[in-house]
Structure 1
Amino acid sequence: MEKIIEQILPYFPPEIKEDIIWIFKKYPNCEEIRVRVNKPLSFFAQGREGATNFLVDKGIIEKIFYLLTNYSYYSVEEELQKGYITIPGGHRVGICGKAVVEKEKVKTLVDINSLNIRIARQKKGIGDKVLPYIIKDNIFLSTIILSPPNCGKTTLLRDLVRILSSSDKFSFKVGVVDERSEIAGCFRGIPQLDIGKRVDVIDSCPKKEGMIMLIRSMSPHILATDELGKKEDIDALEYAITAGVNVLTTVHGKDLFDLKNKGNFREILSLNLFKRLIILSNKGGMGTIEDIIDLETGRSIWEGKYYVV
């Protein structure tokens, strides 16, 4: 907790720092801090939202934004097009304001009115429980991690990348396409989170281009990426698997039926390109493993019950 405070506190002006420290002392597992103009400073922790008595004004948001950008708006203009800035520690600051649009694309954001500081937390060892289900004869089986939002998909994916790329038993080379800087939490190109020994990361790159680049240049055994869904993502995915590279990815959804009804995935599932489906929920807490399915047979192979990663 102290390390996280040290990483994020420099980005808050003096008048709000005591409230930030209070939040983390009271809720060490705080996941988000929300700074909204003319609203109380709020936070999300332990599955619940809370707030302090500090009322945020436009001046506070401007001060935080200046600290985030080191008083150089243009230095983060490219990141603003994506709506967030990554800071040391891999923490990501989501940004809302007025979009400046040119040729139907967001050029930048101005008149900032809301910030969401998402705390990057690493849970090591949570992938150990599922590892036997996605490895067969020392070969990784292409796997989808499926869940609704905020159920631990990326956290589990990150730890599986770390385990698969660090184990001397497997010696897998893993290529990570981290389009939104959430898996490795790169800051200025350097991963802030431990994702293992044999890992190559392409940060802030569209998934399709990133997957093709990694296959052609880094010869990975496994490609890992987050939140597939676009048609071009699926095309690149098919290219990867038919090229002999297995894939670990996450997808938004509730269950296998829901996945089958996603148009872009129907063909992928029909071609049996993926072998395993891990389904997460928050029924027993964030990261509850509800089921692991063998996609070749459609049958459950999960022997646990509501295991919370």
Structure 2
Amino acid sequence: MEKIIDQILPYFPFEIKDVIISIFKNYPNCEEIRVRVNKPLSLFVQGREVATNFIVDKEIIEKIFYLLTNYSYYSVEQELQNGYLTIPGGHRVGICGKAVVEKEKVKTLVDINSLNIRIARQQRGIGDKVLPYLIRENSFLSTIILSPPNCGKTTLLRDLVRILSSSDRFSFKVGVVDERSEIAGCFRGIPQLDIGKRVDVIDSCPKKEGMIMLIRSMSPHILATDELGKKEDIEALEYAVTAGVNVLTTVHGKDLFDLKNKPYFCEILNLNLFKRLIILSNKGGMGTVEDIIDLETGRSIWEGKYHVV
């Protein structure tokens, strides 16, 4: 916890530092810190909002933003097009303000009015119990991790990448397309989170382009990426099938029926690339493994309940 505080505290001005220290002291499992102009500073713990008595004014927002950008707005202008910045430790800061639009695309954000600091936490070992269901004859079976938001999809994916790319038993090379800098948490190109030994990361790159680039240049055994589901992703998956590369990914949804009814997913499933579906929920606590389904037979192969977070 002290390490997280040391990583985050430098981005808050002195007027608010004591409040941030108090938050981590009283809520060590804090997931998000919300900073909104003229609103109480608030935090989220296990999906529940906790408001403080500290009212954030415009000056505080501006000071935090200046610290985040190291007083160089133009140095982060390209990142602002995505609506967030990544800071040391892999923590991600979501940013809202007035969008400057050119040619129907967001060029940057100005007049910042809201910040969301998402705390990056590593959960090592949570993939150990599900991994045996994803291996056949020492080969990884392409897998989708499915759940509603905030159920531990990316946390589980990250640990599976770490295990698969570090295991001496398998010797898998893993390529990660980290479109939103959430899997590896790269800061200036360097992963801030432990994702294993034999892993190559393309950061802040659209999935389709990143997947094809990795297949062509790094010869991975496995591709890992977050939140699959756009029409253009199908082309990259077809390329992966042709190249004999397996895929580990996440998708928003609640069950197999929901997955099949998502746009383009019937087409994706018909590629016969994916063999396993892990379904997570919050029913028994964040990161409950509800089921693991063999997509070749449609049958459940999971035994019991398990929390990954």
Output the TM-score relative to the length of structure 2.
Answer: 0.99
Cα distance, 1:263 vs structure 2: 2.2
Q: 2: CA distance between counterparts of 1:98 and 1:284? A: 40
Structure 1 stretch 231-240 or stretch 217-226: which is displaced more? Answer: 231-240
Cα distance, 1:233 vs structure 2: 1.3
C-alpha contact (below 8 Å) 1:38/1:58 kept by paired residues: yes
Q: 1: CA distance between counterparts of 2:291 and 2:153? A: 13
SS of the aligned residue for 1:186 comes to coil
Q: 2: CA distance between counterparts of 1:305 and 1:218? A: 37
C-alpha contact (below 8 Å) 1:290/1:307 kept by paired residues: no
C-alpha contact (below 8 Å) 1:173/1:198 kept by paired residues: yes
Cα distance, 1:102 vs structure 2: 0.2
Q: Which runs of 5+ in 1 are unaligned?
A: none
Cα distance, 1:273 vs structure 2: 1.3
C-alpha contact (below 8 Å) 1:37/1:61 kept by paired residues: yes
C-alpha contact (below 8 Å) 1:285/1:308 kept by paired residues: no
Q: Deviations over 1:134-185 (max 9, x none)?
A: 0111000000000011110000000000000000000000000000000000
C-alpha contact (below 8 Å) 2:238/2:271 kept by paired residues: no
Cα distance, 1:60 vs structure 2: 0.3
Cα distance, 1:51 vs structure 2: 1.2
Number of residue pairs matched by the alignment = 309
Q: Deviations over 1:168-225 (max 9, x none)?
A: 0000000000000000000000000000000000000010110000000000000000
Q: Which runs of 5+ in 2 are unaligned?
A: none
Cα distance, 1:265 vs structure 2: 0.9
Aligned to 2:289: 289
Q: 2: CA distance between counterparts of 1:38 and 1:307? A: 38
Q: 2: CA distance between counterparts of 1:242 and 1:297? A: 23
C-alpha contact (below 8 Å) 1:241/1:247 kept by paired residues: no
Q: Deviations over 1:75-107 (max 9, x none)?
A: 000000000000000000000000000000000
Q: 1: CA distance between counterparts of 2:40 and 2:54? A: 5
Aligned to 1:140: 140
* RMSD (CA atoms): 0.8
Cα distance, 1:268 vs structure 2: 1.8
Cα distance, 1:285 vs structure 2: 1.2
Q: Deviations over 1:16-55 (max 9, x none)?
A: 0111011101111100000000000000013311011100
SS of the aligned residue for 1:171 comes to coil
SS of the aligned residue for 1:307 comes to coil
Structure 1 residues 126, 306: CA separation in 2 closer, same or farther (over 3 Å shift)? closer
Cα distance, 1:306 vs structure 2: 4.8
C-alpha contact (below 8 Å) 2:286/2:307 kept by paired residues: no
C-alpha contact (below 8 Å) 2:156/2:308 kept by paired residues: no
Say if 2:156 is the partner of 1:156: yes
Aligned to 1:223: 223
Cα distance, 1:234 vs structure 2: 2.1
SS of the aligned residue for 1:227 comes to coil
Q: 2: CA distance between counterparts of 1:245 and 1:70? A: 41
C-alpha contact (below 8 Å) 1:228/1:234 kept by paired residues: no
Cα distance, 1:305 vs structure 2: 2.2
